[in-house]
Amino acid sequence: MSPLARTAQVPAATDPSLIRNFCIIAHIDHGKSTLADRMLQSTGVVSARDMKAQYLDRMDIERERGITIKSQAVRMPWEVDGVTYALNMIDTPGHVDFTYEVSRSLAACEGAVLLVDAAQGIEAQTLANLYLAIESDLNIIPVLNKIDLPNAQPEKYAEELANLIGCDPDDVLKVSGKTGQGVEALLDEVIKQLPPPVGVADAPARAMIFDSVYDTYRGVVTYVRVVDGMLRPRERVQMMSTGSTHELLEIGVSAPNPVPSKGLGVGEVGYLITGVKDVRQSKVGDTVTNSLKPAAESLGGYEDPKPMVFSGLYPMDGTDYPALRDALDKLQLNDAALVYEPETSVALGFGFRVGFLGLLHLEITRERLEAEFNLDLISTAPNVVYEVMGEDKQLTTVTNPSEFPEGKILEVHEPLVSATILAPSEFIGSVMELCQGRRGTLRGMDYLSEERVEMRYTLPLAEIVFDFFDHLKSRTRGYASLDWKADGSQVADLVKVDILLQGEQVDAFSAITHRDKAYSYGVMMTGKLRELIPRQQFEVPIQAAIGSRIIARESIRAIRKDVLAKCYGGDISRKRKLLEKQKAGKKRMKMVGRVEVPQEAFIAALSTGEEKKK
Amino acid sequence: MSFYVHIPFCTVRCGYCDFNTYTAKELGSGASQASYAATVSQEISFARQVMDKSGLPHREIETVFFGGGTPTLLPASDLVSVLARINSEFGLKPGAEVTTEANPDSVTRESLQELKDGGFTRVSFGMQSAVPHVLAVLERTHDPKGVPQVVRWAREVGLQVSVDLIYGTPGESLEDWRTSVEAALSYEPDHISAYALIIEEGTKLAAQIRRGQVPNIDDDDHAEKYQLADEMFAAAGFRWYEVSNWAKGEGHACRHNVAYWQGGDWWGAGPGAHSHVGGLRWWNVKHPSAYQQRIDGGISPGHGREFPDAEAVKLERTMLLTRLGSGMPIAELDEHGRRAVAGLIADELIEPQSAFAGTIVLTQRGRLLADLVVRELLDF
Ligand SMILES: Nc1nc2c(ncn2[C@@H]2O[C@H](COP(=O)(O)OP(=O)(O)O)[C@@H](O)[C@H]2O)c(=O)[nH]1
Ligand SMILES: C[S@@+](CC[C@H](N)C(=O)[O-])C[C@H]1O[C@@H](n2cnc3c(N)ncnc32)[C@H](O)[C@@H]1O
Ligand code: SF4
Ligand SMILES: [Mg+2]
């Protein structure tokens, strides 16, 4: 068994052959954070006394210290056969919304620990990240975790893992992040099995940015993996995608607290601070070089983040609009993928059309806006980006149903995804039914074992952004997992359905749907609104229309009586208080033409949760 | 100034009723019907002392209303003695209106005569409906056949007569309601009150509806029945002077209730009674035994009070004055309210001619949507 390293290798003076860069790929709750904690402890970088559970979890640290120190990469010393190595453990986001970020983190590594819960087996999300890892030529170390659990089935899942990556079941390591069993052996294997990084030491510096975080005190902290050459403090560096230059105020490694160093050499992983205040000036995937002696070519692989899903965000209280703008501005400092522009809605007032990488990104952003900035928000139904060709043969990009061109439409292009669904085989039928109902095309199906099957579908993105995952879960009693990635586009028969209240279009409820589903959307929405909008003194027709053609209609009958018939002496205060309450409730009404619509009606009509409860 | 006297006793409790009233069984030992007239008379004397100390100018009593409960469960002599106390402490103004509520089966020709002789001028009978199955849902125990008789007696002894009707009871058809209205008109009262049934929380009827044993009431049904009644009353020479009240010719409106709606001052005596004097509203302890204890101990029976601020007074005035046939002066409205007037005319909620002449008077549609009109006038 390896002892704790007696001395650590010094950053900027570590031979690449003594460096190992790896990440851990795991499904949520399979124990990545716990294992990482155990590694920090085993290598002695965090003493047992200082050890708090989930040391590296950014959110925890944020909560505790109120600042953002994201320890995306930790440098740990480890000794094997009397030689001390430097291990860099690089964190990867685990969700498909962040596929691009994942791919950049993986590109900073030579190997990956594939961590799978020995009581659960592999999940779709893990498959996706594994695929990305294999694609970036990483060496994979398969590991089963939680072997201390009484219901662990290490043999069964070792078999499954071995099948999947083509190794011997006996090569699958078995650990418990909880008890520490097998963790030191795993560290040894990381050194033995993974190749050291290679690069040209005397070439112009090239380092790849794999993460970039905004810190209130230090500005943007950029995490890099050096490929060639050396970066040193006080040098001027250049971002190769934009050509902008900055002074390196500080450079160092996380161990796991930031420790400044004399520089970072070939194969090393660490952080840079240049004093910039906005993560968009230090973009994930970009190449950093020395501005006096710049590299001729970047490392490649840089892409601008591309929002996939758009939603309108509106403050519940119109006076919060400036606060919402400030909050989005602040979030954007730390989230290069967040894009937004002001929009106005007849129904909801002033707000923003916000682009997200996916639904999770949307949810996280919304939650942060509400929790960290104390905002009450209404968000419109999320929609994807369409390319619409009108009669003029011009393609218009539509990120909001209101941008859908009027008049004759020649073609509408919608984005597609390729989705991987893992489910117990007994649910094949009901998963297929769901995917067919969502205009999916089956691309292939494999049995991972007798009971578990992997199904691959091409689906329109629009069909999965809303409530697909919830339906998938409920049809499989929670057992299915889903992963997807963008995969081109197709021409489809899509139309815009408008909802009209008393003849007035309510923009917040317009939707772009497949023609076959327009009617059911119309019936659903008009029906919902009939329930949600209180009766008015006149009849209120509610219609769903494609262009000028009405496809569904409902009406809210006029209210004929609201007066309290009897009003004796003792009733006076009671009745006044009733009216005062109505008066207080009045602020939450929005006018659509002459129709008073309670704020709650908008929220309820726009939320999918309501539907599920029924 | 007016006086309200609450009589908190009934022989049985009707299923829809949440008035502050008690059957003998519910009353318990702490209070008694027999001594009630004496107890409430003490409050009247106490009222005189309070009013004297208040610094408000002394005013004679213009209207008195005995309500309940069932005031006529007490011997007529008791009611007369209480009225006598009001007269001795405050003085009844000549021509004062003195009303008592009465259940049709709780009076005789003699008791009515005695009331008349003791100074009562008016009686209001709780008829509710002429249709047996409707009365059954309401759990009314009186025999509808007795109503024309008691109305006749009251007229014969020289009392003005009103009857109370309730419409929209579960199971009541439009024809049932027409029957009740026709019956009420045929008794030739001077005044009719017609109330849409309110399902009050905590009543037996509310529970029956919640459990689905009785169908729920419906606002549209109420609206239709209101329209029918309003037209039938008008055809019979009754004029609406408040949303739920119609009087035959001039001079038969209930001046006591009009005083409530016009923001007048009144003292309410008895358990749970509300008062409004000099801008202050207060109310007494609710239970008769708690009430009796306070009075016996020489302590004010007041339990809670409020002093509505200018905003609240404005709201009250608007909600009360618009209920009246005499209407609300447009001059009392603020700028928002005045701006709403044209829209109310367009929506046929108020009478155009009256508006031109400077008063908000509700149309029939407006009476049914009076709360909406109030919200528009107060801009919320
Ligand atoms: N029994 C047992 N539980 C574990 C083990 N590793 C993690 N857990 C538990 O599994 C849950 C998820 O662990 P966590 O490290 O947060 O997973 P992550 O989402 O992959 O970071 C937590 O409740 C851990 O305490 C293990 O080896 N054995
Ligand atoms: C104090 S109550 C009753 C007087 C008398 N005890 C009686 O019932 O005949 C006065 C009137 O209020 C009306 N009323 C009582 N409860 C009601 C309710 N829940 N809904 C509508 N009107 C009601 C009835 O018309 C009743 O005649
Ligand atoms: S008799 Fe009148 S006060 Fe008594 S319970 Fe019936 S409705 Fe209520
Ligand atoms: Mg974790």
pLDDT of the residue at A63: 38
| pLDDT one-digit tens code per residue, A324-345 | 999 998 888 778 788 899 998 8
Residue pair A336/A283 in contact (Cβ under 8 Å)? The answer is yes
Judging contacts by C-beta atoms under 8 Å, the chain B residues touching residue A568 are 67, 257, 260
pTM of the full structure: 0.67
* DSSP secondary structure code for residue B162 in this structure: E
Average pLDDT over residues A80-105: 82
Residue pair A126/A153 in contact (Cβ under 8 Å)? The answer is no
State the count of interchain CB pairs (< 8 A) between A and B. Answer: 101
Residue pair B30/B292 in contact (Cβ under 8 Å)? The answer is yes
Percent of chain B's residues with pLDDT above 90? 91
| Cα–Cα distance for residue pair A127/A286, rounded to 1 Å | 26
Average pLDDT over residues B342-364: 92
Q: Which residue shows structure tokens 């409820």? A: A509
Closest Cα to atom 1, ligand 2: which residue? B68
pLDDT of the residue at A538: 94
Phi, psi of B140 (to 5 degrees): -80, 140
Judging contacts by C-beta atoms under 8 Å, the chain B residues touching residue A573 are 274, 281, 306, 308
Q: How confident is the model at residue A588 (pLDDT cuts 50, 70, 90)?
A: low
Residue pair A515/A493 in contact (Cβ under 8 Å)? The answer is yes
Q: Is residue A71 pLDDT above 50, yes or no?
A: no
What are the C-alpha distances in Å from A382 to residues A233, A314, A401, A597?
Answer: 45, 13, 10, 22
- Amino acid type, A471: H
Q: Which residue shows structure tokens 């970072």? A: A264
SS3 A314: strand
pLDDT of the residue at A529: 92
Question: Which two three-digit tokens encode residue A520?
Answer: 């059911």
Beta strand A19-26 pairing with A111-117: parallel
A-contacting residues of B 212-241, CB under 8 Å?
219-220, 222-224, 226
Average pLDDT over residues B24-45: 93
**If 0-12 CB within 10 Å is exposed, 13-18 middle and 19+ buried, where does residue A604 land?**
middle
| pLDDT one-digit tens code per residue, A408-456 | 899 999 999 999 998 999 999 999 999 999 999 999 999 888 888 999 9
CB-defined site of ligand 2, < 6 Å: A 566; B 16-17, 19, 67-70, 101, 103, 126, 128, 164, 166, 195, 197-198, 200
Task: Give which of A522, A525, A426 is closest to A479, Cα–Cα.
Answer: A426
CB burial of A234-269 (b: ≥16 within 10 Å; e: otherwise) equals: ebebbbbeeeeebebebbbbbbbebeebebbbbbbb
Residue pair B274/A573 in contact (Cβ under 8 Å)? The answer is yes
Q: Is residue A163 pLDDT above 50, yes or no?
A: yes
SS3 A411: strand
- Amino acid type, A442: L
Closest Cα to atom 2, ligand 2: which residue? B68
| Cα–Cα distance for residue pair A107/A302, rounded to 1 Å | 11
| pLDDT one-digit tens code per residue, A554-567 | 999 999 998 888 88
Q: Which residue shows structure tokens 């849902």? A: B137
Residue pair B165/B127 in contact (Cβ under 8 Å)? The answer is yes
User: What residues are paired with B67 via a beta bridge?
Assistant: B6
State the first-to-last Cα distance of chain B, in angstroms, to the nearest integer.
Answer: 33
What are the C-alpha distances in Å from A464 to residues A415, A418, A457, A485, A486?
Answer: 11, 11, 12, 11, 12
User: What residues are paired with B5 via a beta bridge?
Assistant: B66, B269
| pLDDT one-digit tens code per residue, A6-50 | 778 889 889 999 999 999 998 888 999 889 989 999 998 877 656
Residue pair B243/B361 in contact (Cβ under 8 Å)? The answer is no
Q: How confident is the model at residue A51 (pLDDT cuts 50, 70, 90)?
A: low
pLDDT of the residue at A60: 43
Average pLDDT over residues A212-240: 91
| Cα–Cα distance for residue pair B326/A388, rounded to 1 Å | 63
What are the C-alpha distances in Å from A494 to residues A75, A388, A518?
Answer: 52, 10, 9
Average pLDDT over residues A208-221: 86
| pLDDT one-digit tens code per residue, B272-310 | 999 999 999 999 999 999 999 999 999 999 999 999 999
- B369/A contact by beta carbon, under 8 A: yes
Judging contacts by C-beta atoms under 8 Å, the chain B residues touching residue A582 are 371, 375, 380
Q: How confident is the model at residue A59 (pLDDT cuts 50, 70, 90)?
A: very low
Average pLDDT over residues B312-320: 95
Give the helix ranges, DSSP H, for A124-182.
124-135, 154-165
What are the C-alpha distances in Å from A598 to residues A314, A589, A594, B124?
Answer: 15, 4, 13, 43
Which are the contacts of B130, defined by CB distance < 8 A and separation ≥ 6?
B144, B147, B179, B180, B182, B183, B184
Q: Is residue B173 pLDDT above 90, yes or no?
A: yes
| Cα–Cα distance for residue pair B161/B154, rounded to 1 Å | 7
- Amino acid type, A499: I
pLDDT of the residue at B35: 95
Task: Give which of A464, A493, A492 is closest to A480, Cα–Cα.
Answer: A464
Residues B107, B108, B110: CA angle, nearest 5 degrees: 125
- Amino acid type, A393: K
Interface test with A, best of B315, B363, B365, B379 (most A CBs within 10 A): B315
| Cα–Cα distance for residue pair A157/B274, rounded to 1 Å | 78
Which of the residue ranges A236-245, A571-580, A596-605 would you say has the lowest mean pLDDT? A596-605
| Cα–Cα distance for residue pair A19/A311, rounded to 1 Å | 44
Q: Is residue B60 pLDDT above 80, yes or no?
A: yes
Ligand 2 centroid distance, CA of A583 (Å): 29
